[in-house]
Amino acid sequence: MLYAVLALIALQCLGDVMAAVASLPIPGMAIGMMLLVCGLSIRGWWLGSQRAVPDVLNRLAGSLHGHFGLLFVPAGVGVVGNIDRLAAHAFALLGAVLLSTAATVAVSATIAGMRSKVTRSADSVAAE
């Protein structure tokens, strides 16, 4: 599991370096996550979709996911501390949340549809 943690940290650092060197407005963590997704996609293409994610990385993700709720504590404190500002801008915040949710669902559905087509065509080629 240590190698999986080191891989995630290395990808995060690489993303931070890429963002700093290229002066990108994207956080280094997001770039590192994109690099991870690209690497896992290439691994899945090479080894097959069932072996795309290494078992050790899958176990690490499960462990991190089990403690995911802790990340919401600072956000909850921020909400309670700024409740008057949130009430003053409630309609703008509601609009932003609804618009970003709709955009996320649309992009996710598009990517899932493209991925299922690619997976089906790869599976049919492998069956031949």
Nearest to 11 by CA among 28, 25, 27: 28
CA 56, 51, 12, 67 torsion-angle sign: negative
User: Are the C-beta atoms of residues 45 and 33 closer than 8 Å to each other?
Assistant: no
Q: How far apart are CA 70 and CA 77, in angstroms?
A: 12
* Percent of the chain surpassing pLDDT 70: 91
pLDDT tens, 32-55?
999 999 999 998 888 887 788 888
User: Are the C-beta atoms of residues 26 and 19 closer than 8 Å to each other?
Assistant: yes
Q: How far apart are CA 46 and CA 28, in angstroms?
A: 27
Say what the pLDDT of residue 125 is.
57
Question: Does the pLDDT of residue 75 top 90, yes or no?
Answer: no
DSSP 3-state of 24: coil
Say what the pLDDT of residue 36 is.
93
pTM of the predicted model as reported, rounded to 2 decimal places: 0.57
DSSP 3-state of 89: coil
pLDDT tens, 102-124?
999 999 999 988 887 766 665 56
Q: How far apart are CA 7 and CA 24, in angstroms?
A: 22
